[in-house]
A and B are shown apart, each in its own frame.
Chain A
Amino acid sequence: MISSYTLILGIALLIIGFYAMLTRKNLIKMVIGFSIADTGTHIIIVSLGYLRGKTAPIIDQAVSAVNAVQKVVDPIPSALVLTAIVIGLAVTAVMLSFIVEMYRKNKSLSIDDYQELKW
Chain B
Amino acid sequence: MVSPIYILILSLAVGFLLSILDKGGRRLSLTAFYGVLTFNVAVVADWLYRFVFHHVPNLVINTAGFKAPISINLELGVTEAFVLLFANLTGLLAAVYLFRKFKESQVSSLILYLLLIMGVNGLVMTRDLFNMFVFLEILSISTFALTALTRNLKTLSSGFKYMIAGGVASTFFLLGVVFVYYFTGSLNLGFLDAGQFTGVSLIALFMLSVAVFIELKPFPANGWVLDVYQSVDSGIVSVIAVVNSAAVGFVFYKIMPLMPQNFLTVFGIAGVVTFFFSNMMGLKQENAKRLLGYSSVGQMGLLMAVLVFTANAPTNIRYLIIGGLFFNHLFSKAGLFWLAGIVKQEKTRDWTVLRNNKLLLVLFGLFIFALSGLPPFPGFWAKWEFVKVLVDAKMFFVLTSVLVGSLFELIFLFRWFTITVKEDNSELEPMASPHGSMVLPASVFGLLGSVAAFAVMKYFYGFGWLQVLPIGAVLFFYLTDFLPAKVKGFLSLGAIAGYGYCIYPLIESNIQLFFGAIFIVGSAVNLISTLNRKNQSRGFYGFLLMMIFSFGNLLIATSYLEFFLSWEFMTIASFLLILRGRKAQKASLMYMIFSTAGAYLLMAGFGFAPAPASASALILAIESVNLPLISIIVLAIGFMIKSGSLGVHIWLPEAHAEAESDVSSFISAILLKAGVFGLMMVAISYVSHAPSFDVFYWIGWIGVLTALAGAFMASFQEDAKRLLAYSSMSQVGYIVAALALITHLGWVSALYLVFNHMMFKSALFIAVAGIYYRTHTRTMYKMGGLISKMPWTFMTVLMCIIAVSGVPPLSGFGGKWLTYTAFITKGWYLQAGVLFFASGVSFLYLYRLIHTIFLGQLKYEHQEVREAPVWFIIPQFIFLGAIMAISMFPSLIIKPLNVIAMRYFDSSIQIEGLTIISDLGYWNGNLIMYVTMGVFAVPFILLLLVKGKTQKVKQFNIVYSAERPESPQTTHVAHNMYAHYRKALGSWTVPRVEAFWSGVSEWAHAFGGFFRRVYTGNGQTYVLYIIMYIVVIYAVMGVQ
Tally A residues with Cβ within 8 Å of B: 38
Are B130's CB and A30's CB within 8 A? Answer: no
A116 contacts B1015, C-beta separation under 8 Å? no
Given contacts A90-B141, A98-B148, whether A116 and B174 have CB atoms under 8 Å apart is: no
- Is the pair A21, B164 in contact by a Cβ cutoff of 8 Å? yes
In the assembled complex, which residues on chain A have CB atoms less than 8 Å from the CB atom of B161?
114
Contacts of A90 in B (CB 8 A): 137, 141
- Of B141, B178, B231, B1027, the residue contacting A22 (CB under 8 A) is B1027
| CA of A42 to CA of B1017, assembled, Å | 31
The interface-forming segment of A52-60, A62-70, A76-84 is A76-84
Q: Measured between alpha carbons, how far is A91 from B177 in the docked complex, in Å?
A: 19
Per-residue contact bits, chain A 104-119, to B (CB 8 Å; 1 contact, 0 not) = 0110000110111111
Whether B160 pairs with A98 at a CB distance below 8 angstroms is: yes
Q: Given the complex, which residues of A lie within 8 Å of B178, measured CB to CB?
A: 44-45, 48, 77, 80
**Residue A8, interface by CB 8 Å:** no
| Partner of B160 from A14, A44, A114 at Cβ < 8 Å | A114
Contact with B along A8-39 (1 / 0, CB 8 A): 00000010001001100101001000100110
Give the interface centre of A22, A84, A91, A117 by most chain B CB atoms within 10 Å: A117
Q: Is the CB of B163 within 8 A of A95?
A: yes
Given the complex of chains A and B, what is the CA–CA distance between A115 and B1017 in angstroms?
4
The segment from B150-158, B316-324, B516-524, B688-696 that touches chain A is: B150-158
Q: How far is the CA of A22 from the CA of B156 in the complex (A)?
A: 20
- Which residues of the partner chain B approach A44 to less than 8 Å between Cβ atoms? 175, 178
In the complex, A22→B1028 CA distance in Å?
11
Chain A residues contacting B140 (CB-CB under 8 Å) are 91
Query: Given A30-B164, A45-B178, A94-B145, A83 and B1019 touching (CB < 8 A)?
Result: no
The A interface, classified by DSSP as helix, strand, loop or mixed, is: helix
A95 touches B167 (CB 8 A): yes
Please determine whether A37 and B153 come into contact, CB atoms closer than 8 angstroms: no
Asked if B174 and A48 make an inter-chain contact with CB atoms under 8 angstroms apart, the answer reads: no
Q: Cβ of A41: which chain B residues have Cβ within 8 Å of it?
A: 171, 174-175
Residues of chain A contacted by B231 (CB below 8 angstroms): 117
Q: Is the CB of A101 within 8 A of B181?
A: no
Q: Measured between alpha carbons, how far is A101 from B178 in the docked complex, in Å?
A: 35
**Closest approach, in angstroms, between the C-beta of B135 and any C-beta of chain A?**
11
- Provided the pairs A22-B1020, A111-B1020, A118-B1015 are in contact, do residues A87 and B153 lie with their beta carbons within 8 angstroms? no
**Cβ-defined contact, A117 with B1017, below 8 A:** yes
B892 close to chain A: CB less than 8 A: no
Docked Cα-Cα span, A105 to B148, in Å, equals 13
- Inter-chain CA distance A44–B171, complex, in Å, is 12
- Interface residue from A30, A84, A99, A119 paired with B1012 (Cβ < 8 Å): A119
CB distance from A62 to the nearest CB of B (A): 25
Find the A residue at minimum CB distance from B181: A76
* CB <8 Å contact, A98 and B163: yes
User: In the bound complex, how far is the Cα of B182 from the Cα of A44, in angstroms?
Assistant: 11
Indicate whether B931 reaches chain A with its CB closer than 8 angstroms: no
Interface of B is mostly: helix
Residue of A nearest to B147 (CB): A98
The reply to whether B174 and A84 form a contact with Cβ atoms under 8 Å apart is yes
Beyond A45-B178, A84-B174, whether A101 also contacts B1023 by CB under 8 A is no
Asked if B134 CB lies within 8 Å of chain A CBs, one says yes
Name the A residues within 8 Å of B153 (CB-CB): 102, 105-106, 114, 116
Residues in B whose Cβ lies below 8 Å from that of A115:
157, 1016-1019
C-alpha gap A100/B222 in the complex (Å): 25
Residues from chain B with a CB closer than 8 A to the CB of A22 are 1020, 1023-1024, 1027
A contact residues around B223 at 8 Å (CB): 118
B952 contacts A by Cβ under 8 Å: no
Contact B159 A98 (CB under 8 A): yes
Interface size on B, residues (CB 8 A): 51
Closest CB in chain B relative to A84 CB, distance in Å: 6
Chain B 1003-1014 interface 0/1 with A at a Cβ cutoff of 8 Å (1 = within): 000000000110
Which residues of B sit under 8 angstroms from A77, Cβ to Cβ?
A: 178, 181
Bound together, the chains give a CA A94 to CA B187 distance in angstroms of 28
B1029 CB, nearest partner CB in chain A, Å: 13
Contact A101 to B1020, CB < 8 A, known contacts A83-B130, A95-B163: no
A91 to B168, CA, bound (A): 11
| Shortest distance between the CB of B838 and any CB in chain A (Å) | 48
Are B1018 and A101 in contact, CB atoms less than 8 angstroms apart? no
Chain A residue numbers with a CB within 8 Å of B168 are: 18, 21, 34
In angstroms, how far is the closest chain A Cβ from the Cβ of B570? 37
**Contact indicator A114/B145 (Cβ below 8 Å):** no
In Å, the complex CA distance between A27 and B161 comes to: 10
CA distance A77 to B187 in the complex (A): 11
Q: Contacts A27-B160, A105-B152 hold; do A116 and B1017 have CB atoms under 8 A apart?
A: yes
Rounded to whole Å, the gap between the CB of B868 and the closest CB of chain A is 52
B651 within 8 A of A: no
Question: Complex: how many Å from CA A80 to CA B177?
Answer: 10
Interfacial chain A residues near B1015, Cβ < 8 Å: 118-119
Docked-complex contact B158 and A117, CB < 8 angstroms: yes
Closest chain B CB from A111 CB (angstroms) = 5
* A48:B181 contact, CB within 8 angstroms: yes
Instruction: For residue A30, give the distance in angstroms from its CB to the closest CB of chain B.
Output: 7
B340 to chain A, nearest CB (A): 16
Determine if A91 and B1027 form an interchain contact, defined as CB atoms under 8 angstroms apart.
no
**Beta-carbon contact of A48 and B171 below 8 Å:** no
CB neighbours of A117 from chain B (8 A): 154, 157-158, 226-227, 230-231, 1017
Chain B min CB distance to A102 (Å): 5
- Say which residue of A80, A95, A99, A116 sits within 8 Å of B154 (CB atoms): A116
Shortest distance between the CB of A46 and any CB in chain B (Å):
9
A111 to B666, CA, bound (A): 59
Do B158 and A101 have beta carbons less than 8 Å apart? no
In B149-206, the 8 Å CB interface with A consists of 151-154, 156-161, 163-164, 167-168, 170-171, 174-175, 177-179, 181-182, 187
Which B residues lie within 8 Å of A111 (CB)?
1018-1020
Give residues 115-159 of B contacting A (CB, 8 Å): 130, 133-134, 137, 140-141, 144-145, 148, 151-154, 156-159
- Closest A residue, CB atoms, query B172: A41
- State how many angstroms separate the Cβ of B1039 from the closest Cβ of chain A: 17
- Mask, B922-945, CB within 8 Å of A = 1, is 000000000000000000000000
Bound: A44/B1016 CA distance, A: 34
Our pick among A25, A87, A99 for the contact of B1020 (Cβ within 8 Å) is: A25
User: Bound state CA distance, A98 and B155, in angstroms?
Assistant: 10
Q: Are A118 and B141 in contact (CB under 8 A)?
A: no
User: Do B130 and A80 touch across chains, with their CB atoms under 8 A apart?
Assistant: yes
A33 to B226, CA, bound (A): 24
A6 to B164, CA, bound (A): 26
Q: Quick one: closest A residue to B187, CB to CB?
A: A76
Taking each of B154, B160, B170, which has the highest tally of chain A beta carbons within 10 Å of its own beta carbon?
Answer: B160
Q: Which residue of A lies closest to B1019 (CB)?
A: A111
B171 partner, pick from A37, A99, A101, A105, beta carbons under 8 A: A37
Q: Which residues from 744 to 761 on chain B have a C-beta closer than 8 Å to any C-beta of chain A?
A: none
Chain B nearest Cβ from A13, distance in angstroms: 11
- Return the chain B residue nearest A23 by Cβ: B1020
Supply 8 A–B pairs (Cβ within 8 Å), ascending by A. Answer: A30-B1019, A45-B174, A90-B141, A101-B148, A102-B157, A115-B1017, A117-B227, A119-B285
Excluding A22-B1024, A34-B167, A101-B148, 9 further A-B contacts by CB distance (< 8 Å) are A21-B164, A21-B1020, A45-B178, A48-B182, A94-B163, A102-B156, A114-B1018, A117-B157, A119-B1017
Chain B residues in the interface with A (C-beta under 8 A): 130, 133-134, 137, 140-141, 144-145, 148, 151-154, 156-161, 163-164, 167-168, 170-171, 174-175, 177-179, 181-182, 187, 223, 226-227, 230-231, 284-285, 1012-1013, 1015-1020, 1023-1024, 1027
Chain A residues packing against B (C-beta within 8 Å): 14, 18, 21-22, 25, 27, 30, 34, 37-38, 41, 44-45, 48, 76-77, 80, 83-84, 87, 90-91, 94-95, 98-99, 101-102, 105-106, 111-112, 114-119
Q: Across the A-B interface, give the 5 residue pairs with the lowest CB-CB distance, nearest first.
A: A115-B1017, A118-B1017, A114-B157, A117-B227, A48-B182
